[in-house]
Chain A
Amino acid sequence: LAKTTQPISMDSYEGQEVNITCSHNNIATNDYITWYQQFPSQGPRFIIQGYKTKVTNEVASLFIPADRKSSTLSLPRVSLSDTAVYYCLVGVHSSASKIIFGSGTRLSIRP
């Protein structure tokens, strides 16, 4: 899987929009970009996945520029419950492959 780089931590306040950017300069043609969220003492939870341009679901939006060398997870109007670690993964999950998590971004939301 392509190596990813994310900020180690971010802080924000309730009601704000939070954007977490992930760099993946070596992304391959077939790679997808997948984001997971992890709360303390829980397993990672899938948030959103995309290949190019923009993807939006009920939780977040994912912006992917044309060169696909980076992506931005956007969380609209965060609340205290969005405090978690967010992981960006790049690759193809089409087989039982070695899917590696990086260190993630620890997002802290304050009142």
Chain B
Amino acid sequence: EPEVTQTPSHQVTQMGQEVILRCVPISNHLYFYWYRQILGQKVEFLVSFYNNEISEKSEIFDDQFSVERPDGSNFTLKIRSTKLEDSAMYFCASSPGPGTSSYNSPLHFGNGTRLTVT
């Protein structure tokens, strides 16, 4: 079964540094998402992306965050200047786009990148 893959599985960085989290969504999917989960807390929506632009974003997704789909396969999340409170699991997800047989397709998640900011 195809899956969403994320790299690296664990990233340690110093406060103020830039990090890029990488995701390879399922190949025929067109909707892409980033979520984060601080340890012990719920899964929080960050951003959704379709047709090379952001569709929705949360209040967490401020100017320090950006997303990009640089080629036909990767979907990245960049944090420009990391803060201690950015330490969390970051999950990428994808789902099929319009024109699929399933109008309400669920999200497929990767296993996440654990980001530790020191």
Contact = CB atoms under 8 A, between A and B. Distances in A.
A and B are interacting partners: yes
Interface residues of B, number: 32
Interface string A73-102: 000000000000001000011111111111
A72 to B, nearest CB: 18
Contact of A99 (B45, B57, B112): B45
Contacts of B32: 96
A22 B58 CA distance: 24
Contacts, number: 72
Nearest to B114: A41
A43 B110 contact: yes
Contact residue range for chain A?
20 to 34
A45 B15 CA distance: 32
A96 B42 contact: no
Interface of A: 32, 34, 36, 38, 41-46, 49, 87, 92-104
Interface of B: 4, 31-33, 35, 42-45, 48-50, 55-58, 89, 91, 93, 95, 98, 103-112, 114
Given A43-B93, A96-B50, 8 more contacts: A32-B104, A34-B106, A41-B111, A43-B91, A97-B55, A98-B56, A99-B107, A101-B45
